[in-house]
Structure 1
């Protein structure tokens, strides 16, 4: 008899012998798949609990991530540095005063975040707008702009060279783009960075998180404050 063949009972010609592994019932395959998925989800949850123990809504920075200082002129015309705000929880946003949409929308949302905090914590939360347009943004204009959104908001203008270095340290990009009439706009990163009262960078939210869910962002702020 040739290898791999057998003779059918009752005579007849040879038929192939199936050497493939026995098939699992589909219920066993489904159970195995469910077990693998559950194990994978458990691993992800453990990883998230380790890297994000406060279950924050934004993207969490690893412990010890440096926070480059920001140092320039404040909205009141006096020298101002991010380190001067130590002891407060600061939401840092890089933008400019001629911004048509992202900047005003973000600052308005951050004020809603502040209002969503318990009353006792509101004075400890500060929005800091860092200008990426130092050629046009003056302290007087900055003061008018930030105070429109919140009485406690601050503004900071850095010289161009210092701005380039600071933006690189924070991972912020910006680019000047000419528009009609000899003016220009600034394309820039739209994330908001949260710095805790010790000066550590804790979390970054993207534009949509801040503007569509300020209540959830406020929960992050309160968790970091505690």
Structure 2
């Protein structure tokens, strides 16, 4: 049976649009309709919880911090992004590696317990940890860093809801200042270079 070329074109167009929308939401840093903030206006102190107690940015001074915001029921994007961070860490110089801290911030505190977050983060690298907080704390932190996320109902799924979220790597230098926000398509080489750059600039100043 001959395939309808018009239907094929429409199908390919729909798939392309879906792909573009996915990339948009993975890389957006503000909710739709809100004015995007400049990097200099984002970042700052935070205090959330890990399996080993409270984690604050103040405690991490002297280290280059790489933040990634996600959730444990994220089937593909979060694990692959953490894999990129892990690969980037493996490419760092020994000095930079000894002064880097990867942090997976769960935006789904209702389902992601601290023990599971720690296990997930440590699977990728010993210098990573998982943290989260109350819904109010997560809302405040994501707004502070310009991170988009939204809980989406899934009535026909056992999960009941999923999370649309930005997929970016936020690099905070050893002084606690946000210096870079790298996109979902960042490679391990690019992320490693960004971490090394932040570390070397800190050394040069100190």
Per the normalisation by structure 2, the TM-score is: 0.74
1:214 corresponding residue in structure 2 = 188
Q: Describe the SS at the equivalent of 1:92.
A: strand
In structure 2, C-alpha distance between the alignment counterparts of 1:155 and 1:75, rounded to whole Å: 8
In structure 2, C-alpha distance between the alignment counterparts of 1:181 and 1:165, rounded to whole Å: 29
In structure 2, C-alpha distance between the alignment counterparts of 1:222 and 1:150, rounded to whole Å: 17
In structure 1, C-alpha distance between the alignment counterparts of 2:138 and 2:42, rounded to whole Å: 17
Among 101, 104, 107, the alignment partner of 2:82 is 107
Larger Rg: 1
In structure 1, C-alpha distance between the alignment counterparts of 2:83 and 2:42, rounded to whole Å: 28
2:49 corresponding residue in structure 1 = 73
In structure 1, C-alpha distance between the alignment counterparts of 2:152 and 2:108, rounded to whole Å: 12
1:176-197 Cα deviation digits (max 9, x unpaired)? 1122125221111111110000
Q: Describe the SS at the equivalent of 1:193.
A: strand
Unaligned 5+ residue runs, structure 2? 1-37, 201-206
Is 1:116 the equivalent of 2:116? Answer: no
CA contact (8 A) 2:150 2:163 kept: yes
- State the Cα distance separating 1:102 from its structure 2 match: 1.2
Listed as ranges, the matches of 1:117-136 within 5 Å are: 117-136=92-111
- State the Cα distance separating 1:126 from its structure 2 match: 1.3
1:199 corresponding residue in structure 2 = 176
In structure 2, C-alpha distance between the alignment counterparts of 1:182 and 1:80, rounded to whole Å: 29
Unaligned 5+ residue runs, structure 1? 1-59
2:137 corresponding residue in structure 1 = 162
Q: Describe the SS at the equivalent of 1:151.
A: coil
Is 1:173 the equivalent of 2:148? Answer: yes
1:143 corresponding residue in structure 2 = 118
- Structure 1 residues 61, 178: closer, same or farther in 2, change over 3 A? closer
Runs of 4+ in 1 over 3 A off after TM superposition: none
In structure 1, C-alpha distance between the alignment counterparts of 2:162 and 2:98, rounded to whole Å: 33
- State the Cα distance separating 1:93 from its structure 2 match: 0.8
After TM superposition, the structure 1 stretch with the greater mean CA deviation from structure 2, 175-184 or 187-196, is 175-184
